[in-house]
Structure 1
Amino acid sequence: MLRNACRPKSGPDMRKTPFCVSSRRLSTKKLRGSSGRARNDQRLRRVRRERPGLRMSNGTAVLTLEHEDVHPHVTSGLTETKCRCPGDGRVVPRLRTLLPAVLALCQLATPGPASAHSAAASPQSAPAAPQSAPRPALDPSDPARWQVRPAELQALRFRELGPFRGGRVTTVAGVRSRPHTFYFGATGGGVWKTESAGQAWTNISDHGIPIGSIGAVAVAPSDPDVLYVGTGSDAIRGNVSTGRGVYRSDDDGATWRYLGLREAGQIGRIRIHPNDPDLAYLAATGHPFGPNPERGVYRTRDGGESWENVLFVSDSTGAIELLMNEHDPRELFAAMWRAERKPWTMISGAREGGIYRSRDGGDSWEKLAGGLPSGLIGKLGIAQSRSDPGRLYAIIEAEPGSGIYRTLNGGDDWTLVNDQPRLLGRPWYFHNIFVDPTDADVVYVAGGGFHRSTDGGLTFSTIAMPHSDHHDLWISPDNPDVMVQGNDGGAVVTVDGGRTWSSQFNQPTAEMYSVTVDDQFPYRVYGSQQDNSTLSLPSSATGTGISLQHWESHGGCETGPVTVHPTDPAIVVSGCFGGRLARYNRRTEQFRQIRPYPERQDGAPERELRYRIQWNAPVLFSRHDPDVLYHGSQYVAVSRDQGGSWAVISPDLTGNDTTKFGQAGGPITADVTGVEIYSSLLQIAESPHDARVLWTGSNDGRVHLTRDGGATWTDVTPPSMPQPSTVNRIDVSPHAPGTAYLAAYRYRLDDFRPFIYGTRDYGATWTLLTDGANGLPPDHPTRVVREDPERAGLLYAGTEFGLFVSFDAGANWQPLQLNLPPSPVTDLVVHRGDLVVGTQGRGFWILDDITPLRHVAAGEPAGDLVLYPVRPAYRTAAQERDGHYVRDHVYGAMIPRYMKAMNPPEGATVYFRRAVGAEGAVTVRILERDGDLVRAYQNVPAGPGLNRFNWNLDYPAGSAAVAARAVPGVYAVMIEAPEGDAGAEFEVRMDPRLEEEITVADLQAQFDYLIRARDRLGALEEAVVGLRQVRGDAESAGGGPDANDAIRGAAERASSALTAVEEVLVQPRGAGFANPSRIRSHLRFVMTAASSQRGEDLDARPTEQLIERLVDLEVELEGALTRLRGIYTNEVEELNAELESAGLERIRVPAVPGRRAVS
């Protein structure tokens, strides 16, 4: 292992990497019988345990590893290896994984990108030693080093906003023994499972796999509780997120353990032996953005404890597909693909690609040739018939010879059977092929369309699908009508051979490029979903949640971005790839194309374009002049009439690297969609202080500034920022005009370092705020940074692997992941005290009320009990309700919960902090401004650290079905804890949407009505309780052993009289359609009518008719209570007289609730 890990001291980059000075075995011992061949076969050697010892000697790290081999013919013992640290402290990824102890002695500088040197190797030789898995790939930062302890933030919770509309899926799996159970892996949203054939999906990876990008999901055929997951989607489009290793579950996803292969990059497929869940093979495509040796086919024989690279072609060609013959699992087929992305192109193809076969379980491989293309081989997919294992199909990108090939003899001879262009488009993204397990002539091709052949690939028909762009398919071996399919819109299940498919509107896995908000109430969140459309959703909605009918699309397309008119939210401008730009008027539902120059970009070399408009080209309305619109190419263009006309106001603000201006794609197939447009602007940021100040950032690393509205521009690129970089976001401080922050990345150049810079002097000088040692890990590329608009120096950063926060202007960082699922964070907006998050795989999320973060950033208040300021609470009809089914506001139906996003907590949210060691529950009291108690909540659980309590604005409802809600005004909250008390005032406000038609006086009238009805209902309930107690006592007295005829007669008369009154007050046989309602039901009815509609809160003054009806009910109630008093005075008193005469105990008579004035 150590010998293979230490590369030969040669090659252009070895001067920058650690290398082995020597390696020697100090002692050995034989485990058991040996074989010369096995003893010398280092490819089969697998390390079970390593116990390292490390010392430093004359600049050389001496690492001693005591190891035990599990191969039966290899020895265990003690090995000493010396690895010299280079002058710049750089460490190759492979050595970083295998020898982590060396890093501790070689941390001389911030690690930079290291070229992975690799000598040419034959397909049968593995360049790297087996990799063990000592710990997860993404260890969280040590909480002990955080500025703010996790307990101080523990009560903060993100809320999922949606959309509940599926995102891209490139891997699916099914379970033969569980016909309704399926899995999919989203390209940024983790692993999901259904047990209802796609009716509902549940995430099973958030708690154990810290990576959102999933490339392969495999179920062990012999034990369906055993799952293997390979991270890193193999459909490496421009926004692909890299993988970080392999995970395994032995309990169907309840728990996960990390299995290593951190540097394997994208994982295309995992195959598990049909009888041994510990024997598995893995197709590692490798790093998508650069060469690395950890690619090819890997094998594990011990359930992932160790891996061996059994097929390696080169450090730029990896495995994309892998087949295992179910009838003879020692026969394997691997598709090898040379693939690499750069910001300016997509490389697909090399002569070393092709189909490889092993007939000895991976010990040796041969490249298949008979009849297959012999030139450049690009992306390819392969499939083997289960019913006829000698028949295989391959779909191949080649020059020459692209097409679908078939073999009838296990791969020895191949025939081209189809070369229709419609089956072969965009091969790097598609080229996946599958065979029906029961009929070798039925073949499926997943591409832009989903195609099926019933004649062995000679002809194909297209199957209608819920979405386009298809990637993976699993077919039930027992019933080929049952399938699960993955496409750009999510995963779908069919149980009828593809005639119908399950919904994709139950998968919250959308990839959102950006986040925009407006100033409506409630505010809407806008963005563009990859592989779908632009979209906006309200941050809350009337009723029990946010569902499909609340969504809106605004033109443009999947790329966006979206910008909203600052004073008229009905006007929305959205972008689309190819330079398209549309203005949408929500009132008229009319679109207008307003692109600055209507030039079709698709397919054209970049050098031929007048404007280099990127896939996510920036567009934004000016916050100072709402008619001004900015748009970016290599120039900044401005429109002063909302897109009717345009003028360029800048020179070329990019690096203008003309060497990258060719036709994207190759060397076989071009692919020009706008993703690879280079030397183009990705960011235009307008200063909130001065309309003349604009900042720009380009995808080749240039930052420019104008302070005179575009008349002159200055290059203010941070000098220390490596070039080229992608400047993804610029945020101008709302607190200081010259302060700005930028987030850049280089991960698409295989450099995963984070780059956040800050300036306080308009870019004259910059400070790097992410040195890899201040809390934000050195391998987390940064996509966005935002400063809090109320608290200077409070920064939020979105990275490829999560969310971070800095409380000191970037000097230190710590995770702010909380319950946010693992997914790349693409954009952030702080709005109205909320943090809105856009993710590349889990849609939008909102952290409602960031008050605690702002006050922590300002300096933690002293004291054992700290109550944070309570922000204003709004009376709205938005409710926070959970359950499997909830009512849909517009259509009234009950719909599944998983199709709805939750509303924010109702009412007032109270945050308070208790000191370390605090014990015992607390009491929360809500008070009116004059000190009258509204509600008291006893024994509220509250531990040390941050706690959250929510008051929904309801007054006590008593026995009523609905409660009176707080009238707008000032209230107070008191926290009473064993260690002390704390209090704060807060305001309840009216829903701003109602201010033109509803007044506070109206709400006060509603409140008074409901309290009045509640009190009368309470009096009724009190009277009924007393009545039933007296009647029970009377019946007991009349039926007792000492009762005489007089007592029995009096008891019967009292009981009958009480029952008659009871039947006026309540319906003892139950309400409903069978029995008439009584006063109690009528009181509840008018309360509901005055306050809600189908369970949803209403804000309105009670109508005159409601008041009239309540008065009538009060009259009826008072009449019944008067009769009850009379019965107590007469019939019950008569019974008591008889009881006294007989020397028996009187019946206790309760007081009847007093009269209430009727008006």
Structure 2
Amino acid sequence: MKTIQLLLATILLFTYQLHSQQKKDDSPPTADKEFHNLKWRNIGPFRGGRSVASSGVVKQDGVWYMGGTGGGVYKSTDDGISWKNISDGFFKTGTVGAIAVSESNPNIVVVGMGEHAARGVMTSMGDGVYKSTDAGKTWTHIGLDYTRHISDVIIHPTNPEIIFIAAQGAQYGPSPDRGVYRSTDGGSSWEKVLYVDENTGASSLSMDMNNPLILYAAMWQHRRYPWTMESGGKSSGFHKSTDGGTTWEPMKSGLPEEFGKSGISVSRANPDRVFAVIEAEGEKGGVYRSDNAGKSWKQINKDRINIARSWYYMEIFADTQNENIVYVLNAPVMKSIDGGKSFTPLPTPHGDNHHLWIHPHNNKIMINSNDGGANVSNNGGESWSTQQNQPTAQFYRVITDNLFPYNLYGGQQDNSAIAIASRTRNGGIDWKDWYSVAGCESAFLAFDPDNPVEVYGGCYQGIIERWMKETGIGKAINEYPEQGLSKPPSEAKYRFNWNAPIISSPHDRNTIYHAGNRVFKTTDGGLSWEAVSPDLTRNEKDKHGPGGGPYTNEAAGGENYNTIMSLVESPHEKGVLYAGTDDGFVQLTRNGGATWSNVTPKGLREGIINSIEVSPHDPGTAYITVMRYKSMDLKPYIYKTNDYGASWTAITNGIKGDHTFVRVVREDPKRKGLLYAGTETGLYISWNDGRDWQAFQLNLPIVPINDLVIHNNDLVAATAGRSFWILDDLGAIQNKQNNTDVLKIYKPRDTPLFFGGQSNNPTIGHNPPSGVIFDYYIKEVVDSIPVTLEVLQNGKVIRTISSEKDEDFKSWPGGPPTPAVLPAKAGFNRYYWNFRRESLPAVSEVFVFGNLSGSHVGPGSYTLRLKQGDAVSETTATITADPNINAMQADFNEQQRMLVEIEAMVKDIHESVNSMRSAGNQLKSYAKLLKHNEKAKDLLSKGDSLHKRITSWEENLIQAKQKTFQDVINYNNKLNSELLFLKSFIEGPMPNVTRGSRQRLADLKEDWKTYEQERNAIINTEMAEYNRRFRELDIPAIIIEEKNE
């Protein structure tokens, strides 16, 4: 044997130079950069909103693209089971009008922006064309910025460099950027190849895929005004090109001399057959067909169902394999199998339909876009994929109740008004967590936020309903019930906006206001109403005629004009109400409606007063937003008054861009002058009362923000195309200042002890992480100096979290949880302490049924201590009981005492096992090294007995044979698992401990006491004896085993 005596001395010296090691960043700070750790969460609902564009992929079964109105582009790779947004981070606007995927190269996808269904409400413009060359992973904007609304994109079937765009153009004004555009270099450049005039755009474009030199275009003369839709005129017509779009000839034979909107589609099965659907005067409207490639046409169907509400629906699609099958999309989808002579309905998940893509080689495979999203069929429409997996809902407004957790309420366009939970105790926010309430798609909603059992909700044409949650029964309570559909506003007693305001008085929740062109009030649940204002609008008689013409009327209510759009009562003063109209008036009463004053900002042109915010800090201060996009003015308008509207100041400096008109502004209830503005394409923030604004998007997608509300210090957003979003806890934003501290931790809001799960399920809304949200500021970050958080209870550290990753950490099935890492970047940071104490130690490679996470704490006060080098910052966090839990403090105290006791035992057991295992490993090592030492035979014998004794002792405490969760039912669980099971049994938000739990803990304590005594005996007797004999033999401390020769 050879022996070596070693002495190892290691001295580690750390010198921290915080300032000298920091790299300078001279770039100007932005709100997004400064608050990088704040994240919005999408809560849903996952109930699809309107889509007018979709496409399959010819060479890839099960792959689909969908364009939302506001929501961007989504892709499914599992046949519509799930959808993922693929345009976020690339697109500058959110509303998609058309999508095409190259048949020859499926990596090429081209998207035209701006919805072509020309609604008067909830319709957004686009910013041209985007292209992807990697199947949607990345996108490039390729021009045509001012086309505004694109109806079709067509890619040449064999040469994807050739692309055609059908530009319908701006709805609300003349535009030279209409017509058909062509690119022959993949979108690098464009030429306008068909143009009629500034009022006539391309509503439909169809290519003969057998001979792509042949194209058919439907041109539509149209113009929207805030009060009517003009659809049709002499400039509408069909045009054909036979040279790839270079020249065009009009097609007139057999067609009406004048008509409105039209759609056109050439049969892939028979290129001589071309179908068209036409809005025209009287019997002239209907389905037309040409059997000679457009030389002459014949009307073959006059059914009104195919052409009703033509400006909104009315698209036509020829089947790809059968020349006699054709589909007309309206409400509903109509299908013909006899060449268009007769039609029958084809049911789809939503009744209002806009687009159909049919696979060119298998006409059973198709995707349909409608007002509820997109749905896939593989059997010709006999069944469809769900739309309950698309978070693309369009909401007009949002309000919240005061329950815990609170709920959000809003009217979803093309669907119903709903209430949805802001968070749940499950893995996310599912369909079970929302339900329909009063009103319909266009609803304002009102109720007592402390007791929302009675909900008032609106609908178009002034419908208002009182709905009882307990029974689910609603009752219409209109001021003056009259059938408004088809009736011009001039013939109605009152005029109501599509999204007519309904509010409950903050001073008396039994007082409900409902606004039309006048303001109405009820105090008896709508059994009677009192008008508390005169007509507050401009009351322009010439704007109260039919909502559409010259061929198709539109009197659903979206074109009602000279109406009140926003209404608010001051939270400071009862009877002080502001009313904003859709024609640009701001009206004020300070005596409950007895008298009103027109306090409109001087020089303000007609526009929509979409929101009014009375400052929560000052009774005389209010903010208004004005939208003038219906006059083709896309600039932002926000005004502020400090004197009840006697004077106003414009406050929009910093809000820039072509699509940033402002829809809503709110003031922070905690920090005066902190403003949030929702625009057509995202969020802005101002810390100085609107003098300067910064974009504040974070991870919120580019989407119109229709409404904002601040509740429980959360910022809640209602979007037009991406459902509801919540930014949890505005504390960091409210605390922003010129910070001189090196390190600063901010006091978090009081946090109820609430537990909700997290899920990777892509079809449910997101819960926030459970725990105490807190924010902290780090002036400078140095990699060599970790930032550490300590959580203290009664002066004792119960949890430590570092910004430094534990590189030595090892995990295994049933092993310890991965150590949390504290975010540490320069500026504001955010972290969720998950209520839990330090994790319990593990026994290497041993599976534990139950987890080793520390137990959660109970209600009380805790210290949060942040450290960085010598810098220290402290604050306190208060955890309160879940208000839904009926328990006394004594119950929590007992629960916590037992959890701490259990964890102490598990910790002691696992540390004891690890120590005894270490001793056993040393015994095995010495047995190997001393096996040839004659003097050590007795020692080896004692060592062997001692090792068996340790193993026998360990087998009572842990089950080393368990390697996976299935082993739990095969191998007996031992003392550590019994304790962890009891821990999980006692844990939870309901603290009441059962008698059985108390008895079980007492029994397990006795068991551990026995094994603890056995451990002590092993250490103090047998191990001591072994050590004594070891010393007597004078064996070296380090032995190197000789190699066999």
Once structures 1 and 2 are overlaid, which stretch shifts more, 357-366 or 438-447?
A: 438-447
1:1029 Cα offset (Å) = 3.1
Q: 1:1003 aligns with which of 863, 888, 892?
A: 892
Task: Report the secondary structure of 1:1118's partner residue.
Answer: helix
* Separation in structure 2 between the aligned mates of residue 290 and residue 646 of structure 1, nearest angstrom: 40
- 1:585-640 per-residue CA deviation (whole Å, 9 max, x = no partner) reads 21232212211111111110111100111110111110101110100111111001
1:987 Cα offset (Å) = 1.6
Match of 2:751 in 1: 873
Match of 1:46 in 2: none
Indicate yes or no: 2:200 matched with 1:336: no
Task: Report the secondary structure of 2:65's partner residue.
Answer: strand
* Separation in structure 1 between the aligned mates of residue 698 and residue 789 of structure 2, nearest angstrom: 28
Residues 1048 and 734 of structure 1, relative CA distance in 2, 3 Å threshold: closer
* Separation in structure 2 between the aligned mates of residue 406 and residue 1083 of structure 1, nearest angstrom: 79
Letter in 1 for 2:991: A
* Separation in structure 1 between the aligned mates of residue 784 and residue 170 of structure 2, nearest angstrom: 52
Match of 1:120 in 2: none
Mapped contact 2:93–2:659 kept (Cα < 8 A): no
- 1:205-256 per-residue CA deviation (whole Å, 9 max, x = no partner) reads 1110011111111112222111111110101112210111111111222222
Match of 1:1080 in 2: 976
1:861 Cα offset (Å) = 3.1
* Separation in structure 2 between the aligned mates of residue 806 and residue 1051 of structure 1, nearest angstrom: 74
Indicate yes or no: 2:673 matched with 1:793: yes
Match of 2:650 in 1: 768
Mapped contact 1:918–1:944 kept (Cα < 8 A): no
Task: Report the secondary structure of 1:223's partner residue.
Answer: coil
1:775 Cα offset (Å) = 3.5
Mapped contact 2:31–2:695 kept (Cα < 8 A): no
1:340 Cα offset (Å) = 2.0
Residues 554 and 905 of structure 1, relative CA distance in 2, 3 Å threshold: same
Task: Report the secondary structure of 2:566's partner residue.
Answer: strand
Residues 1055 and 269 of structure 1, relative CA distance in 2, 3 Å threshold: same
RMSD across aligned positions (CA): 2.2
Mapped contact 2:787–2:824 kept (Cα < 8 A): no
Residues 703 and 268 of structure 1, relative CA distance in 2, 3 Å threshold: same
Match of 1:171 in 2: 53
Indicate yes or no: 2:906 matched with 1:1023: no
TM (normalized to structure 2)?
0.91
Residues 224 and 599 of structure 1, relative CA distance in 2, 3 Å threshold: same
* Separation in structure 2 between the aligned mates of residue 1098 and residue 544 of structure 1, nearest angstrom: 16
Residues 146 and 736 of structure 1, relative CA distance in 2, 3 Å threshold: farther
* Separation in structure 1 between the aligned mates of residue 36 and residue 1028 of structure 2, nearest angstrom: 66
What pairs up with 1:595-610 in 2 under 5 angstroms?
595-610=478-493
Indicate yes or no: 2:616 matched with 1:734: yes
* Separation in structure 1 between the aligned mates of residue 92 and residue 671 of structure 2, nearest angstrom: 30
- 1:1085-1119 per-residue CA deviation (whole Å, 9 max, x = no partner) reads 1111111xxxxx43313212111111111211222
Indicate yes or no: 2:436 matched with 1:553: yes
Indicate yes or no: 2:65 matched with 1:183: yes
Mapped contact 1:829–1:837 kept (Cα < 8 A): yes
* Separation in structure 2 between the aligned mates of residue 855 and residue 927 of structure 1, nearest angstrom: 22
Match of 2:81 in 1: 199
Task: Report the secondary structure of 2:948's partner residue.
Answer: helix
Task: Report the secondary structure of 1:573's partner residue.
Answer: strand
Once structures 1 and 2 are overlaid, which stretch shifts more, 451-460 or 517-526?
A: 451-460
* Separation in structure 2 between the aligned mates of residue 998 and residue 275 of structure 1, nearest angstrom: 71
* Separation in structure 2 between the aligned mates of residue 1135 and residue 153 of structure 1, nearest angstrom: 61
What pairs up with 1:1142-1153 in 2 under 5 angstroms?
none
Mapped contact 1:743–1:782 kept (Cα < 8 A): yes
- Per chain length, whose mean CA-contact separation is higher, i.e. which structure has more relative contact order (CA < 8 Å, sep 6+)? 2
Mapped contact 2:659–2:681 kept (Cα < 8 A): no
Match of 2:871 in 1: 980
Match of 2:140 in 1: 257
1:195 Cα offset (Å) = 0.4
Task: Report the secondary structure of 1:823's partner residue.
Answer: coil
Task: Report the secondary structure of 2:168's partner residue.
Answer: strand
* Separation in structure 2 between the aligned mates of residue 921 and residue 428 of structure 1, nearest angstrom: 64
- 1:681-739 per-residue CA deviation (whole Å, 9 max, x = no partner) reads 111110111111111111111111111111111111111211x2111111111111111
Match of 1:783 in 2: 663
Residues 182 and 1002 of structure 1, relative CA distance in 2, 3 Å threshold: same
Residues 1136 and 707 of structure 1, relative CA distance in 2, 3 Å threshold: closer
Identity of aligned residues (%): 37
Letter in 2 for 1:657: E
* Separation in structure 1 between the aligned mates of residue 34 and residue 787 of structure 2, nearest angstrom: 20
Mapped contact 1:432–1:471 kept (Cα < 8 A): yes
Letter in 1 for 2:117: A
Letter in 1 for 2:584: G
Letter in 2 for 1:796: Y
1:283 Cα offset (Å) = 0.2
Indicate yes or no: 2:859 matched with 1:968: yes
Letter in 2 for 1:175: V
1:580 Cα offset (Å) = 1.2
Match of 1:927 in 2: 791
Task: Report the secondary structure of 1:1018's partner residue.
Answer: helix
Once structures 1 and 2 are overlaid, which stretch shifts more, 1125-1134 or 633-642?
A: 1125-1134
Mapped contact 2:497–2:561 kept (Cα < 8 A): yes
What pairs up with 1:821-860 in 2 under 5 angstroms?
821-856=701-736, 859-860=737-738
- 1:949-985 per-residue CA deviation (whole Å, 9 max, x = no partner) reads 2211111130453432222222222222248332222
Indicate yes or no: 2:131 matched with 1:241: no
Once structures 1 and 2 are overlaid, which stretch shifts more, 693-702 or 861-870?
A: 861-870
Indicate yes or no: 2:324 matched with 1:441: yes
Match of 2:159 in 1: 276
Mapped contact 1:387–1:440 kept (Cα < 8 A): yes
Mapped contact 1:216–1:267 kept (Cα < 8 A): yes
Q: 2:950 aligns with which of 1058, 1063, 1075?
A: 1058
* Separation in structure 1 between the aligned mates of residue 102 and residue 81 of structure 2, nearest angstrom: 24
Mapped contact 2:82–2:763 kept (Cα < 8 A): no
Q: 1:379 aligns with which of 252, 261, 264?
A: 261
Q: 1:704 aligns with which of 568, 587, 599?
A: 587
Q: 2:375 aligns with which of 483, 492, 497?
A: 492
Q: 1:677 aligns with which of 543, 547, 560?
A: 560
Match of 1:910 in 2: 774
Letter in 1 for 2:219: M
Indicate yes or no: 2:960 matched with 1:1068: yes
Residues 762 and 336 of structure 1, relative CA distance in 2, 3 Å threshold: same
Task: Report the secondary structure of 1:433's partner residue.
Answer: strand
Task: Report the secondary structure of 1:1016's partner residue.
Answer: helix
1:1047 Cα offset (Å) = 5.4
Letter in 1 for 2:976: R
- 1:100-122 per-residue CA deviation (whole Å, 9 max, x = no partner) reads xxxxxxxxxxxxxxxxxxxxxxx
Indicate yes or no: 2:363 matched with 1:480: yes
* Separation in structure 2 between the aligned mates of residue 178 and residue 562 of structure 1, nearest angstrom: 45
1:149 Cα offset (Å) = 5.2
Letter in 2 for 1:525: L
Mapped contact 1:925–1:933 kept (Cα < 8 A): no
Indicate yes or no: 2:396 matched with 1:530: no
Letter in 1 for 2:677: A
1:470 Cα offset (Å) = 0.8
Mapped contact 1:271–1:324 kept (Cα < 8 A): yes
* Separation in structure 1 between the aligned mates of residue 527 and residue 676 of structure 2, nearest angstrom: 36
1:1131 Cα offset (Å) = 5.3
Indicate yes or no: 2:521 matched with 1:638: yes
Q: Which runs of 5+ in 2 are unaligned?
A: 1-24, 805-821, 842-850, 1040-1045
Residues 1056 and 979 of structure 1, relative CA distance in 2, 3 Å threshold: closer
Match of 1:35 in 2: none
Mapped contact 1:921–1:942 kept (Cα < 8 A): no
Residues 325 and 1049 of structure 1, relative CA distance in 2, 3 Å threshold: same
